[in-house]
């Protein structure tokens, strides 16, 4: 029989000793992502065949996470359609029993592992963050049907492909973010916003910088936390924060800087959120950065459905897998796991308020 390399959902981890918050997850993207994944499983004859993996609803995703001690999360909507979806989800007008878009793949049921924790209704387990992602900002600036001369290939080597939604101007898209964030009391952060120079050339960088500045101003105007996306743009992001002034509560989502940058950010009173990459074997530099941050300024996240932690890298991610990252943080810092969980929980509520 051919060797099988598993691509489906990882098994549930052991429950955490105290519930924590997933600081950054994309519930809107988990079902569509899973709907595109197949796993190779043996048939009755022992041959490996491709089968679709289970596709979870939002309610199932939340329940499965709660069963292992992830009882609260920040849902991040960072394109125009996801902003609208997040708003509806938090208002209870989007059914938790379904997910976008429907799929013929089987449903993923919550873990049946026993738990003594209270059952948290999904509506109270979720807070939100909304923004126009820096890469989306570039597409809105291009428009739905850009001239070929405006197309710029960045370091990722990909050709930007705006869609119909990008006919909305960047200013109008950010205005919609502002309207949602200002009217929905369960939206507690502006994000993810920032800069991504892996996916932007010189023209895109200029667009991203101005969009980032607009989001910084919005977070300060509304008195909300800000979640920063920083990919290959450490100096540029720090420059904007220095020139415009950071919001009072600033969070670096999926922190990717070195120890020196981590130390600087911590000195400013900013929060650093660590995701699956802190568990990757090659990322000792990221673990060194973690050691520079006081535990009271550490957050944890999945960035699901992306960045699945070791030992499941490359497979679909969801909030129920956050305990792997939490345990890595405790191990790297040499701190008792329950203390890490309690501190992360307290810090999350200090950043976003009560759930």
The answer as to whether 164 is a domain residue is yes
pTM of the model: 0.91
Looking at the structure of the chain, the number of domains it has is 1
The answer as to whether 114 is a domain residue is no
The answer as to whether 4 is a domain residue is no
The answer as to whether 175 is a domain residue is yes
Place of tokens 């890595």: 328
Task: Identify the domain containing residue 167 by its residue range.
Answer: 20-101+120-352
Q: Taking 90 as the threshold, does the pLDDT of residue 257 lie above it?
A: yes
Q: Cα 175 to chain center, whole Å?
A: 22
Q: In CATH, what number is assigned to the domain containing residue 320? A: 3.20.20.140
Per residue in 83-97, pLDDT (tens digit) is: 999 999 999 887 665
- β-partners of residue 49 are 41
Per residue in 327-351, pLDDT (tens digit) is: 999 999 999 999 999 999 999 999 9
pLDDT of residue 317: 98
Per residue in 171-216, pLDDT (tens digit) is: 999 999 999 999 999 999 999 999 999 999 999 999 999 999 999 9
Per residue in 20-76, pLDDT (tens digit) is: 999 999 999 999 999 999 988 888 888 888 899 999 999 999 999 999 999 999 999
Burial class (CB in 10 A: 0-12, 13-18, 19+), 130: buried
Instruction: Say if strands 38-42 and 187-196 run parallel, antiparallel, or are unpaired.
Output: unpaired
The answer as to whether 110 is a domain residue is no
Instruction: State both tokens at 154.
Output: 């960045």
Q: Could you please report the per-residue DSSP string of 105-172?
A: SPB-PPP-----SPPPPHHHHEEEEE---HHHHHHHHH-SS--GGG----TT-PPP---GGGGS-HHH
Q: Could you please report the per-residue DSSP string of 176-220?
A: HHHHHHHH-TTEEEEEEEEEETTS--HHHHHHHHHHHHHHHHHHH
Q: Taking 60 as the threshold, does the pLDDT of residue 284 lie above it?
A: yes
Instruction: State both tokens at 117.
Output: 């924790």
pLDDT of residue 6: 82
Rounded to 5 degrees, what angle do the CA atoms 316, 126, 347 make?
95
Residue 212 exposure: Cα atoms within 13 Å on the Cβ side = 29
The answer as to whether 111 is a domain residue is no
The answer as to whether 107 is a domain residue is no
The answer as to whether 1 is a domain residue is no
């Amino acid at each position: 029989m051919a060797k099988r390399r598993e691509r489906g959902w990882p098994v549930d981890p052991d429950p955490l000793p105290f519930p924590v918050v997933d600081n950054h997850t994309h519930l809107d993207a988990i079902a569509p992502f899973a709907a595109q994944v197949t796993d190779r499983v043996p048939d009755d004859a022992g041959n490996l065949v491709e089968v679709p993996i289970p596709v979870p609803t939002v309610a199932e995703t939340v329940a499965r996470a709660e069963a292992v001690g992830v009882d609260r999360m920040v849902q991040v909507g960072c394109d125009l359609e996801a902003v609208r979806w997040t708003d509806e989800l938090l208002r209870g007008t989007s059914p938790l029993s379904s997910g976008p878009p429907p799929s013929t793949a089987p449903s993923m049921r919550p873990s049946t592992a026993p738990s003594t924790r209270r059952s948290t209704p999904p509506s109270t387990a979720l807070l939100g963050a909304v923004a126009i992602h820096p890469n989306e900002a570039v597409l809105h600036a291009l428009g739905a049907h850009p001239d070929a001369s405006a197309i710029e290939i960045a370091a990722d080597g990909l050709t930007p492909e705006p869609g119909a939604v990008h006919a909305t101007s960047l200013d109008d898209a950010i205005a919609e973010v502002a309207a949602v964030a200002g009217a929905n009391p369960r939206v507690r952060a502006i994000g993810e916003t920032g800069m991504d120079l892996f996916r932007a050339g010189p023209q895109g960088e200029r667009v991203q910088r101005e969009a980032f500045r607009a989001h910084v101003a919005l977070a300060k105007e509304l008195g909300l936390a800000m979640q920063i996306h920083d990919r290959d743009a450490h100096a540029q992001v720090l420059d904007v924060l220095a020139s415009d002034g950071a919001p009072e509560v600033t969070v670096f989502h999926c922190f990717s800087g070195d120890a020196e940058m981590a130390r600087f950010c911590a000195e400013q009173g900013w929060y650093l959120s660590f995701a699956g990459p802190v568990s990757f074997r090659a990322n000792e530099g990221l673990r060194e950065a973690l050691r520079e941050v006081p535990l009271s300024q550490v957050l944890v996240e999945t960035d699901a459905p992306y960045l699945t932690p070791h030992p499941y890298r490359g497979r679909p991610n969801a909030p129920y897998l956050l305990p792997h990252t939490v345990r890595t943080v405790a191990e790297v810092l040499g701190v008792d796991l329950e203390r890490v969980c309690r501190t992360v929980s307290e810090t999350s509520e200090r950043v976003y308020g009560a759930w």
